[in-house]
Amino acid sequence: MLLIAFLIGFPALVALAVAVAPTADLRSQLVRWSAVALAVGSAVLAAAYFRSEPLYFSVGEGLRQLLDLAFMIGGLVVAAVLLFSCRRVKGKEWAIPALIVLQTSLILVAELGPAHPVVENPFYVDGFSLLMVLIIGLVGGLITLYAIRYMRDYHAHANGVADRQPAFFAVVFLFFTAMFGIVLTNHITGLFFFWEITTFCSFWLISYSGTDEAIRNGYRALALNLIGGVCFAAGIVWMTYSPDLRTWELDTLIASGGAVALIPAALIAVAGLTKAAQMPFHSWLLGAMVAPTPVSALLHSSTMVKAGVFILVKLAPVFHGTVPGLLLALIGGVTFLATSLIAINQRNAKLVLAYSTIANLGLIVMCAGVGTTATLWAAILLILFHAVAKALLFLSVGSTEHLIGSRDIEDMEGLVYRQPILAMTLMVGMLGMFLAPFGMLISKYTCFKAFLTVDVFPGGGVLLLVILAFGSAPTLFFWTKWMGKLVAMPRREQPRIGAVPGEESFALLVLTAATYISCVLFPVVDWAFIQPFTHDLMMSGLIPVGDDSTPWETVLMMTLMLGGLFLLPLLFWLRPPKFTPISGYLSGANVAGSASYRGAMGAEREVAARGYYLTTLIDEQRLTRQGVLAAGALTIAMLAGTLA
Amino acid sequence: MSYETLALAAAFIVLGPLVGGLLAGIDRRLTARMQSRQGPPILQPFYDVLKLFEKDTTIVTSLQTLYVWCFLFFMVISGVILYLGGDLLISLFALTVSGIFLVLTAESTNSPYSKIGSARELVLMMAYEPMLIMVPLGFFLVAGSFRAADIAAGDPSQVIQLLGVLIGFLFILTIKLRKSPFDLSSSHHGHQELVKGLTTDITGSDLALVEIGHWYENVILLGWLYLFFAPLGVLWALPIALVLFFAEVLVDNTNARLKWGTTVKASWWVAGLFGVTNLLVLPFI
């Protein structure tokens, strides 16, 4: 309990301290050691409750009322701050203050109602939330470490951007408070309060640079997340006044299962979908690209979007075996398919990463909607693998951008020869995202197996399988295309580029190792965190008893492949083959040492070959429109389906 | 995993290239006969590869050799899993990794011919992947397992139940075997627009390894084809699988090459029309 209080309270205090730190140097030190403290704190919490059953913590009468009051006043403060931030809205953005007012009045209707439900256990830990704490603390901590140096460089590069670094790091730490709150709170209005803080933080961080584009994108993120917030608040109102299910506790909501819980669960799920940037709400995450890279890394890997899928996975037992559950899975499916295809079109590295994030979250939503033991297993592992690999990829792209001055994939040609370490970290991140034997593939394998046995209505499972099969193929395409660029021999001598700064490379190397290790140790993660979580759900009869163990033969083969991927390069490095180097075939007389040939009149001509972006096959705009329409219709159908 | 399957997997590692090379030799002979030519001896592919080992190897970058070895390694793993009677989906994943490494080999040079070849190879991978994934899924719905051993011991009627999936598989087999109309990533004829596509900048022993990798691949694909008919018993299944396999030569010789766009669309249509429909109606047959 004290540890929980530490994890939620400490970052908030750090935020205050960082904001008022007198010198930049002191601030850096403070940020550095606080990030370390958070990482250690989360590890200690995970160790203290290692493999424990879900534990709920009650507080005394007085403290309970204090918490209720604190969450209410806190909520009002957040609403006031959000309203104040709306002073620069224009055009259609007038809807934002309206949404804030609507959401605040809804939540006040619940909170000020006569005798609202009593929350016996406001805090809890279980295997899943422990794993989330670890992801937030460790991955988030590393990103913060990376950000210290990055932000200094950022302001050296970006002219005309006001240096608001104290506020920047304060908001980042506030974000951690909110994230720890979300994964450890059983108190539903408390959850809502933390939820709104993440909305505010993401809005502030996206608009950080203060350019018009950044501000517009920030408002878009705010608007879409507020739609989710309004739905969340409506769910709470329902849970306060419903005659069948009057509770403010998350575990009671999940445990009551069936039709009574479906309505509030679906409303909260919409909030989850907005936060997890699923279609039709996905556009805010694409707009978030304008923010400095550590922000993107935070939003995409360990915070924000993971809060969305966290709540969806928590609610999975309610959705299991219901039609709204299948519709939820299909929303994820549509998103997965459409964004995987659209990613092929992208040349901007950060946009490729963004679309791939949305696609992977779609996969997790598919798993959550199905809600069997196996899919929960897959979903939780996906959350872990994705957090590590995506943080690595974003930070690598950030460093690359600072060194080569571009985030265009085509400009990364030959990075293996120009900056081997960055190329290596990028490659490992990509391998982690889509190739066997790395984590994502283990989860995908389980998804295939689990979807085969879905039988909510005939053909439902096959539909999900087909989506998975067709969505995986484009994934292969865009990642390999990018890897191909990295390993390509440069066409001419490239200018040398500098080294990656120390703190940045530390974060990169730790994440690279984590990508490898999480693949090797996934059975341990399963045993330590996932089994206690799913076992408890099975015991209480919320999800069917199922076997989530991986056959040892599969583990053996995966290990063999992983070993090969490690040993072959090692052998090669120890005993490099001695072959004659030449330059590539150009169908002409090569000019020595480059990809140029002697053309007519002896002129030197350089060849060029660009990647394929398949714009004639895939129309980004049309596909987005169709995806948004389909997912929007499915969302409405899901909400309507709960009433039936 | 029994001694029998262990022996089979060991045989795949040792004899795989021999069988694959023979298949390639017969393929060339058949092609020649269809074109009213005499054709090379059946063992010609072996002579070619042995000669390649004798030749000097040139490289654009030394990393090329590493990627070629990875390509071969994952190809062998994929086959070992299959012939051990193991998980078909994992075998498929390994096959994909292997394909990716071949693409990286070609991408790592700076010849545009090589790069267009690799880009097209990637497009082809994207085209056949959905249908290829549907094959193990179909088997699972029929036999209740992804394991090749369980599928082979399944019900003899499974090939009827999975007729749509089989048709889809035969379609993409044409792509996997790099036959016309889908041989866009590598051309067998030096005078065509791509020179040699994927393998333009791979020479000597590296090229020999790629050849051997392709022999392994052919044996793996033959194994997949065999699985459809396996419950009928080896006396029926093997001849049928071989006949279907060599039917691809006929397709090769009677079709002109397609563009990549058409190829992707056609493959996905076939996967949707035959594969998906088959999976959807499976509960009713």
Domain locations in chain B as residue ranges: 3-284
Contact A480 B100 (CB under 8 A): yes
How does residue B68 score in pLDDT terms, banded at 50, 70 and 90? very high
By percentage, how much of chain A surpasses pLDDT 90?
A: 45
Average pLDDT over residues A131-145: 93
Q: What is the pLDDT of residues B112-133, one digit of tens each?
A: 888 888 988 999 999 999 999 9
How does residue B189 score in pLDDT terms, banded at 50, 70 and 90? low
DSSP codes, A303-347: STHHHHHHHHHHHHHHHTTSHHHHHHHHHHHHHHHHHHHHHHH--
Enclosing H/E stretch for B58: strand B58-59
Find the range with the poorest average confidence among A500-509, B199-208, B218-227.
A500-509
User: At CB < 8 A and 24+ separation, what contacts does B189-197 make?
Assistant: B194/B113, B194/B116, B194/B117, B194/B120, B195/A585, B195/A587, B195/B113, B196/B113, B196/B117, B197/B106, B197/B113, B197/B114, B197/B116, B197/B117, B197/B118, B197/B120, B197/B121
Q: What is the pLDDT of residues A312-325, one digit of tens each?
A: 999 999 998 888 99
Contact A617 B261 (CB under 8 A): yes
pLDDT for B211 = 94
Contact A428, B72 (CB under 8 A): no
pLDDT for B194 = 60
pLDDT for B115 = 87
3-state helix, strand, coil in chain A (%, to 5): 75, 5, 20
Find the range with the poorest average confidence among A360-374, A404-418, B90-104, B182-196.
B182-196
On the question of pLDDT at B188 being above 60, the answer is: no
On the question of pLDDT at B214 being above 50, the answer is: yes
Q: Which residues between 155 and 184 in chain B have a beta carbon less than 8 angstroms from any beta carbon of chain A? A: none
On the question of pLDDT at A358 being above 90, the answer is: yes
On the question of pLDDT at A551 being above 80, the answer is: no
- Whether the CB of A584 is below 8 Å from some CB of chain B: the reply is yes
On the question of pLDDT at A505 being above 60, the answer is: yes
How does residue B187 score in pLDDT terms, banded at 50, 70 and 90? low
- Whether the CB of B185 is below 8 Å from some CB of chain A: the reply is no
pLDDT for A289 = 87
- A117 vs A67: CA distance, rounded Å: 14
How does residue B190 score in pLDDT terms, banded at 50, 70 and 90? very low
Give the β-pairing of B58-59 and A580-581: parallel
Kindly state the tokens that stand for A441: 């593939």
Contacts of B108 in chain A (CB under 8 A): 484, 487-489
By percentage, how much of chain A surpasses pLDDT 70?
A: 99
Residue labelled with tokens 């006396």: B235
pLDDT for A39 = 93
A307: left (phi over 0), alpha (psi -120 to 50) or beta: alpha
Cβ atoms within 10 Å of B35's Cβ, excluding its own = 9
Amino acid identity at B267: S
- B12 vs B20: CA distance, rounded Å: 10
Residue labelled with tokens 């070849």: B117
Averaged pLDDT score across all residues of chain B: 89
Smallest Cβ–Cβ distance between B126 and the set A473, A560, A580 belongs to: A473
pLDDT for A588 = 76
pLDDT for B216 = 96
pLDDT for B75 = 96
On the question of pLDDT at B193 being above 70, the answer is: no
pLDDT for B219 = 95
Residue labelled with tokens 């709470």: A236
Contacts of A614 in chain B (CB under 8 A): 123
pLDDT for A145 = 92
Averaged pLDDT score across all residues of chain A: 88
Average pLDDT over residues A376-394: 92
Q: What is the pLDDT of residues A573-618, one digit of tens each?
A: 898 888 888 888 887 778 776 778 887 787 888 887 788 888 888 8
- Whether the CB of A113 is below 8 Å from some CB of chain B: the reply is no
Q: Regarding predicted confidence, which is higher, A169 or A522?
A: A169
Torsion of CA A194, A200, A202, A204, to 10 degrees: -150
Closest-CA distance, B270 to chain A, in angstroms, reads 13
Residue A575 carries which DSSP code?
S
pLDDT for B96 = 93
Residue labelled with tokens 């940045």: A504
Contacts of B276 in chain A (CB under 8 A): 462, 466
Q: Identify any residues that bridge with A581 across adjacent strands, giving them in sequence order.
A: B59
User: What residue ranges do the domains of chain A occupy?
Assistant: 2-574+609-643
Contact B141, B282 (CB under 8 A): yes
Smallest Cβ–Cβ distance between A484 and the set B97, B118, B123 belongs to: B118
Q: What is the pLDDT of residues A184-237, one digit of tens each?
A: 999 999 999 999 999 999 999 999 988 889 999 999 999 999 999 999 999 999
Find the range with the poorest average confidence among A400-404, A635-639, B101-105, B133-137.
A400-404
* Complex prediction ipTM: 0.93
On the question of pLDDT at A64 being above 60, the answer is: yes
Query: Nearest 5°: CA angle at A169, between A163 and A172?
Result: 130
